[in-house]
Amino acid sequence: MTDTLIVNTAQAEAWNGYEGEHWAANDDRYDIVNSGFNEPLLDAAGIGETSRVLDVGCGNGKLTRLAASRAPHGQATGLDLSGPMLARARARAAEEGIGNVTFEQGDAQVYPLPPGGFDVAVSRFGVMFFGDPIAAFANIGRGLRAGGRLAIACLPDLSGTDLGPVFA
């Protein structure tokens, strides 16, 4: 873990233990499962060539890397609690030769984002793990410039659905 304050401790423990290691070891499989959300989410974000993009709950960094490719003269930053997944994200970015991307370990609820430092924030299924969504979205909002955008994909409440028992 970093020196950054972590308040979402239950999620930090899970994503730095077995869950994070499993997702990092199987990143190709999970990227394929979630790939159908990438283009619509990035289109909704309106990322331009010089955009500064924050990917919240970036995991193995696929969406962050795709955002970086849409902002060749900008910067994409992935933020996640999981050390194992961030290591995989950094390795994949290096393998792909993506130089305008960085990955930071931290808790979106309290991570010291630069005020107004981002044009757009995206998240593909990361925001549903916030322990305190109000604190997290307020922090992300402070990190966005005036008029900045937020585009997220998030599962709805699964109770009463066919998937509910799978994740119970």
Residue 57 lies in a domain: yes
* pTM (whole model) above 0.75: yes
CATH of the domain at 93: 3.40.50.150
Residue 28 lies in a domain: yes
Residue 4 lies in a domain: no
| Cβ–Cβ under 8 Å, residues 4 and 69 | no
Per-residue pLDDT of the chain (168 residues; tens, 9 = 90+): 445 677 778 777 777 888 889 888 988 998 898 899 999 999 999 999 999 999 999 999 999 999 999 999 999 999 999 999 999 999 999 999 999 999 999 999 999 999 999 999 999 988 888 889 999 999 999 999 999 999 999 887 777 777 667 655
Could you list the residue range(s) of the whole structural domain that residue 150 is in?
A: 9-155
Residue 161 lies in a domain: no
Residue 167 lies in a domain: no
The tally of domains found in the chain comes to 1
